[in-house]
Chains A and B, each alone.
Chain A
Amino acid sequence: MKLTVWTYEGPPHVGAMRVATGMKGLHYVLHAPQGDTYADLLFTMIERRNHRPPVSYTTFQARDLGADTANLFKTALHDAYDRFKPQALIVGSSCTAELIQDDPGGMSETMGLPVPVIPLELPSYQRKENFGTDETFFQIVKALARPMERTAHVTANLIGPTGLGFRHRDDIVEVTAMLEEMGIGVNVVAPMGATPADIARMGAAHFNVLMYPEHAEAAARWMERNLGQPFTKVVPIGVGATRDFIEEVAGLAGVAPKYDDARLRMPWYSQSVDSTYLTGKRVFLFGDATHVKCMARMARDEMGFEVVGLGCYNREFARDIRALAKEYGVEALITDDYLEVEKTIEDLAPEMILGTQMERHIGKRLGIPCAVISAPVHVQDFPARYSPVMGWEGANVIFDTLVHPLVMGLEEHLLHMFREDFEFHDDAGASHHGGAAKLRSLDEIPAETDTAQPAAASAPSQGNIVWLSDAEKELKKIPFFVRGKAKRNTEKFALEKGVHEISVETLYEAKAHYAR
């Protein structure tokens, strides 16, 4: 057992729902107890879908346990077929049904429905949501896709986008446009928007664009082996990655790399003088492996940030992320425990977090600006406006997204100049968001951490360090958004030197010591 409050991922059957809901003409019959329908509202509320997810639940109750549940499943499958007349069905168990061992696959086989029924084995007690999407899509492709003659014209399949995917809707548009510029057509986009009939004709494409490895890598590998379709390895998030992607695609398609980046404004924005203050901003990245990987490159090479730590919650990609961390000279954090993430962030004291919904709240708690770069996300990250993260427009969107939570250069300069001014005082906050990021003043830090979390208060500010009042005054002059770090560094420095009283001099010695 493991005590959990936040979960980065749902159970694997939610992953299967994401595939089913992304598709059309497919229905999912899920053997599950009453109550598991809660997952419907992820789609109807967070993603604002205008129809019910194509999922039927057997909703068994305590009184059904025993022989009855198997019949319930059969009835539910019959009813779902009769009512929705799908081109294909997927069937499986949720975590509770897995325990009662009714075998939906075996039962559906005996029923002789006139459409393909694809059984799913999703081990709920070992695996999670992303495994669910990947495995479900793989099983559907394996069951339906067949080798066939290639299209006369060069085409590719776009694979990986699902229901509830972070910016999947707009990434499809962006990638489609990039391919079009090179004269490459899109054969099928799947699972998002595809029908089982579309899946059956995926073999006609010349190659696959693997948009999200989390959701379609197994299918991509299967198609490579069985349909002879190579797939792209570069995910086009960021300017450099997009260029690499275009090169890669051109190679696979046997066409000349060609693109129109007339509307790519990100590089100039990043080069313009107002962005100078971004140089060396210390960022921490956490999320799904793909987005973290791409965003790390963007953060360092295109925004000029310093990456001080990175990690992911999906273990399937732990090896990739460890290799990446090595390349960046930082520790990789592979965990699905938000407390560990919070601890790491506290220790690293970055100036900005690029993360998920959870990190946004950790940032709020610690007073660190945060931009959301990965699922899990909440309703505000399914925006009405066009906001891809892939391709040229994606780069523009990301620049704005990363800069927005930070104060702009001029504004930051003003904050320094007028920091005792009544308008530009400390409590004005480091962020444009909400203005509520009331950073604790120096005196409040220990008290607040104490009540919030006794264990966490043990961090560096322990030891028997005394701040002399002059030094304390000086510390308060440091802008609040770096003050926490300055305090920690000074104390660490003092401890190393065996000094127990911190004077103004100690403060500046430490500053010189840590100068970068």
Chain B
Amino acid sequence: MKDFTPQPPAQGCRNAPVLKERGQREVFCGLTGIIWLHRKMQDAFFLVVGSRTCAHLLQSAAGVMIFAEPRFGTAILEEKDLAGLACANEELDREVDRLLARRPDIRQLFLVGSCPSEVIKLDLHRAAERLTERHAPHVRVMNYSGSGIETTFTEGEDACLACMVPTLPATDERQLLLVGALPDVVEDQALGLLRDMGVSPVRCLPAHRAAEVPGVGSNTVVALTQPFLNETAQHLERRGARILPAPFPFGEEGTTAWLWAVAQEFGVDADTFARVTDAPRARARKAIAAAAETLRGKSIFFFPDSQLEIPLARFLTRECGMTAVEVGAPFINKQIVGPDLDLLAEGPVIAEGQDVDLQLDRCRAARPDLTVCGLGLANPLEAEGMATKWAIELVFTPVHFYEQAGDLAGLFARPLRRRALLTGLEGAA
């Protein structure tokens, strides 16, 4: 049985002192979550109420995707909206009416708050209630904030899912609820493994469509698939659900531990578990080994971005032989990433928050072999001679569970292999 739970190091990082910093932060705001959430929820539209800056951010982050009639947009506040609040509500109603008339396929509409809408205290919650009444039963209108003043990058997904939880139907059914938006291919693999073990029923939040939203109640057991779902977890607990503590399903070890936690909860015996997982475990180990050749013995430095940093550092140090220098995360909830912290061997600086100039000073002093950071820092650091892996890709690319374990390691190995290939290549910058 021990076999399925990874051997923790003599001293993990759960009680390691956390370097808490405040200062200039080089991070995305929660609006960015819309980019992947709208792909997952196929009948939802995300309407940001904000400024031209918000629209510009979505455009920059969505890249080419923005040209494919996406299901998101920005209601840009204009000068006249700032003059009087009553008018802003009417304007919003009118824009929503127009939008829903043009897109009759929309069943869920999210009014997404931004910094400007929060600062002028535009009551989007009330607006959502009002609009739900107006467009019932066809469309349900909900509201959350993806503003930079309140949320960092993936926290936008957390805020979105959390706002859905109170509206989920009640159920007493004994069920497993997978929480976190995973790429479809990954979700299917997870569901397949659980089905083969006989765990049932299994439901997902977010669901693909409004009609498929799961119920929740005191017999619901929640397995989080993403580490940034702090508020959602709280809301689910408030509805009586229980959160299963487990490391996150990155790498062979993480996936096995995550599945084993579920298996134990649902009374799956070790033989069944082994029968279902042995083959994919072996595949994952083999795939990781190929990339690990490049990674073994290399040092890594994480700038804060998505809250995936701690579980990823655990995977890279334990399964790929890397050494972590600093693991920065925008926010650390020890209850949720505790199992990962236990498995991460003592040593790295664990940092929460950011003062980007100070952190850059530490990074330059450490000269890590690989630096995980955002796109605003990646090229400048490369120009200083440091190999980087841009972090956002880790949120968009399928990286969870067994079949993606090799790809995940590959994402980190590729920049190092490339750097080795391009030796002696110099020119103007």
B-contacting residues of A (Cβ < 8 Å)?
1-7, 9-11, 13-14, 33-42, 44-45, 48-52, 56-62, 64-65, 76, 79, 83, 94-96, 99-100, 123-126, 128, 358, 361, 364, 378, 452-453, 455
The answer to the question of B53 belonging to the interface, with a C-beta cut-off of 8 Å to chain A, is yes
Contact assessment for B378 and A44 in the assembled complex, using a CB-CB cutoff below 8 Å = yes
With A34-B148, A62-B118 as contacts: A4 and B61 at CB distance below 8 Å: no
Tell me whether B60 and A33 are in contact (CB under 8 A): no
How distant is the Cα of A213 from the Cα of B164 in the complex, in angstroms? 49
CA distance A108 to B348 in the complex (A): 39
Interface positions of B from 53 to 85, Cβ below 8 Å from A: 53, 55-57, 59-61, 64, 66-67, 69-70, 72-79, 81-82
B116 touches A96 (CB 8 A): yes
A99 & B379 in contact (Cβ 8 Å cutoff): no
Chain B 374-395, CB within 8 Å of chain A: the 1/0 string? 1111111011000000000000
What would 5 more interface pairs be, CB under 8 Å, given A45-B375, A95-B53?
A37-B24, A49-B379, A59-B148, A96-B119, A358-B67
Give every chain A residue within 8 A of B57 (Cβ-Cβ): 35, 38
In whole angstroms, how far apart are the Cα atoms of A355 and B387 in the complex? 37
Give every chain B residue within 8 A of A50 (Cβ-Cβ). 379-380, 382-383, 429
Partner of A3 from B73, B378, B383 at Cβ < 8 Å: B73
CB nearest to B361 among chain A residues: A83
Q: A2-B76, A44-B375, A44-B379 are in contact. Are A35 and B55 (CB under 8 A)?
A: no
Contacts of B82 in A (CB 8 A): 99, 125
> Which of A41, A62, A453 gathers most chain B CB within 10 Å?
A41
A13: chain B residues at CB < 8 Å are 53
In the complex, what's the smallest C-beta–C-beta distance from A79 to chain B, in angstroms?
Answer: 7
Q: Which residues of B contact A126 (CB under 8 A)?
A: 78-79
- Minimum CB distance partner of B115 in chain A: A96
Residues of the B chain whose Cβ atoms lie less than 8 Å from the Cβ of A94: 53
Of the 9-residue stretches B94-102, B256-264, B269-277, which lies at the interface with chain A? B94-102
Question: Do A48 and B26 contact each other (CB < 8 Å), given the known contacts A11-B52, A99-B82?
Answer: no
Which residue of B150, B374, B377 contacts A61 across the interface (Cβ within 8 Å)?
Answer: B150
Asked if B67 and A361 sit within 8 Å, CB to CB, the answer is yes
CA distance A38 to B55 in the complex (A): 12
- Give the interface size bracket for B toward A: 35 or more
CB pair A7 B59 closer than 8 Å? yes
Assuming the contacts A125-B78, A125-B82, asked whether A11 and B149 have C-beta atoms less than 8 A apart, the reply is: no
Complex interface: stretch among B27-35, B129-137, B188-196, B200-208:
B27-35
> Do A455 and B376 touch across chains, with their CB atoms under 8 A apart?
no
B52 contacts A61, CB within 8 Å?
no
Q: Kindly provide the distance from the CB of B416 to the nearest chain A CB, expressed in whole angstroms.
A: 20
Mostly helix, strand, loop or mixed at chain B's interface?
Answer: helix
Q: Which B residues have a C-beta under 8 Å from some C-beta of A?
A: 23-32, 47, 49, 51-53, 55-57, 59-61, 64, 66-67, 69-70, 72-79, 81-82, 88, 91-92, 94-95, 98-99, 102, 115-116, 118-120, 147-150, 152, 357, 374-380, 382-383, 429
The 8 closest A-B pairs by CB, nearest first: A35-B148, A35-B29, A40-B376, A50-B383, A361-B67, A96-B115, A95-B51, A41-B375
Max count, chain B CB within 10 A of own CB: residue among A38, A65, A123: A38
User: With A11-B53, A62-B150 in contact, do A44 and B376 touch (Cβ < 8 Å)?
Assistant: yes
Contact A35 B115 (CB under 8 A): yes
| B357 in contact with A79 (CB, 8 Å) | yes
- Highest count of chain A CB atoms <10 Å: which of B51, B52, B75, B378: B52
Partner of B77, one of A1, A5, A6, A59: A1
In the bound complex, what is the Cα–Cα distance between A4 and B114 (angstroms)? Answer: 15
B298 CB, min distance to chain A CBs, angstroms: 23
Shortest distance between the CB of A216 and any CB in chain B (Å): 22
Contact call B383/A128, Cβ cutoff below 8 A: no
On chain B, the residues within 8 Å of A44 by CB distance are: 375-380
Report which of B30, B73, B116 forms a contact with A95, defined as CB distance below 8 A.
B116
The docked-state distance in angstroms from the alpha carbon of A14 to that of B148 is: 17
A36-B53, A59-B24, A76-B24 given; A41·B60 CB < 8 A: yes
A5 in contact with B383 (CB, 8 Å): no
A4-B50 Cα distance, complex, nearest whole Å: 11
Q: Is the CB of B81 within 8 A of A1?
A: yes
Contact B149 A60 (CB under 8 A): yes
Residue among B47, B69, B79, B149 with the highest chain A CB neighbour number at 10 A: B149
Residues of B within 8 A of A58 (CB): 24
Contact A34 B75 (CB under 8 A): no
Q: B29 to A1, Cβ gap below 8 A?
A: no
Identity of the chain A residue whose Cβ is nearest the Cβ of B392 in the assembled complex: A41
Q: A3-B95, A3-B99, A11-B52 given as contacts; is B28 within 8 A of A35 (CB)?
A: yes
Q: List 12 A-B contacts (CB under 8 A).
A: A1-B49, A7-B55, A7-B59, A35-B29, A35-B148, A40-B26, A40-B375, A48-B379, A60-B149, A96-B53, A96-B116, A96-B119
Residues of B within 8 A of A76 (CB): 24
Contact status of A10 and B375, CB under 8 A, knowing A3-B98, A41-B60, A56-B24: no
Nearest chain B CB to A53 CB, angstrom units: 8
B148 touches A4 (CB 8 A): no
The residue on B at minimum CB distance from A123 is: B79
- What's the nearest-Cβ distance from chain B to residue A118, in Å? 21
